[in-house]
Amino acid sequence: MAIITLATDYGNSDGYNAAVIGVIKSLSPGAEVIEITNGFSSIAKTSLVLWRYYSQFPKGTIHLVVIDPTVGTSRRALVGTDGNYCFVGPDNGIFTRIMEACPDSLWYEIDPTRLPANTVSNTFHGRDIFAPAAAFFANGILPESFSKKINDAVKVDIPKPIITAKRISGEIIDIDSFGNLIINISGESLGDKPKVILKGKKLRLGKFYADARPGNPIAYIGSLGLLEIALNGKRADKYFQVKVGTPVKVTI
């Protein structure tokens, strides 16, 4: 029984998510649809969050992601695979981090005329294109039979840290719902006794939130393997008055 995860920006009041799930279950009754969220927002964040969860699922899982601000333009509809997982969604950069993590992954442009729907609406591709494509994967249909290989899938710009002998200059790439700051600096690059500097404040590297006194900040290697900064018991984003893009420096 194939698993299809579903992540969208459809919200919880319009039933768009339901229409997508209904189409999948109609075309692939045995598929197990697991709705991750209907509350995604930006393309960049979606790319990061998908990277967080995709490989936790069993191999063979199909990840359907519909954050699609340019639905109905000429943007292409994608399917892809890294050999272990399948991906379905718009070609707008949401799969960037998958492509970076898996340079050998293969990507295909869906040909809507080869999908089972009789009519493809111009504004609801989640229901009319992406759901059928995910069901095809679940039914073991190969992407070659309803899409054609491409080599120029859209990527969003992912900020890279600048690494020198004594210093790494990175930035905040995400703030999670707890206010924790996620930074584009790998835990492996930090050496023995790094000093983390955010807005002039020097932080030592701890293991978890409680390594700081309550209300105080701490840096640590987070669950993605990246440097993070949090407060013990409060929101770090409010404390530091920072946002995505704020620079973070590490002296090694």
**Which residues are near a second copy by CB under 8 A?**
3, 5, 7, 10-19, 21-23, 25-26, 29, 33-41, 45, 49-50, 52-58, 61, 69-74, 121-124, 127-128, 176-177, 207-210, 220, 222-223, 228, 230, 233
Phi, psi angle pair for 5, to nearest 5°: -90, 150
Contact 196, 185 (CB under 8 A): no
CB of 135 vs a second copy, minimal distance in Å: 12
CB of 184 vs a second copy, minimal distance in Å: 16
CB of 72 vs a second copy, minimal distance in Å: 3
CB of 245 vs a second copy, minimal distance in Å: 18
Nearest residue to 75 via CA among 109, 46, 42: 109
For a second copy, the closer CB: 50 or 153: 50
For a second copy, the closer CB: 96 or 127: 127
For a second copy, the closer CB: 72 or 247: 72
Q: Both tokens of residue 187?
A: 């835990």
Apex CA 2: angle with CA 34 and CA 29, to 5°? 80
For a second copy, the closer CB: 29 or 159: 29
For a second copy, the closer CB: 145 or 177: 177
Contact 99, 132 (CB under 8 A): no
- Residue 223, SS3 per DSSP: coil
**What is the spatial distance between Cα 47 and Cα 197, in angstroms, rounded to a whole number?**
26
CB of 176 vs a second copy, minimal distance in Å: 5
Contact 184, 160 (CB under 8 A): yes
CB of 85 vs a second copy, minimal distance in Å: 10
**What is the spatial distance between Cα 192 and Cα 50, in angstroms, rounded to a whole number?**
31
CB of 165 vs a second copy, minimal distance in Å: 29
Contact 117, 102 (CB under 8 A): no
- In sequence order, what are the beta bridge partners of 66? 8
For a second copy, the closer CB: 15 or 191: 15
**What is the spatial distance between Cα 105 and Cα 82, in angstroms, rounded to a whole number?**
4
For a second copy, the closer CB: 73 or 251: 73
**What is the spatial distance between Cα 155 and Cα 100, in angstroms, rounded to a whole number?**
9
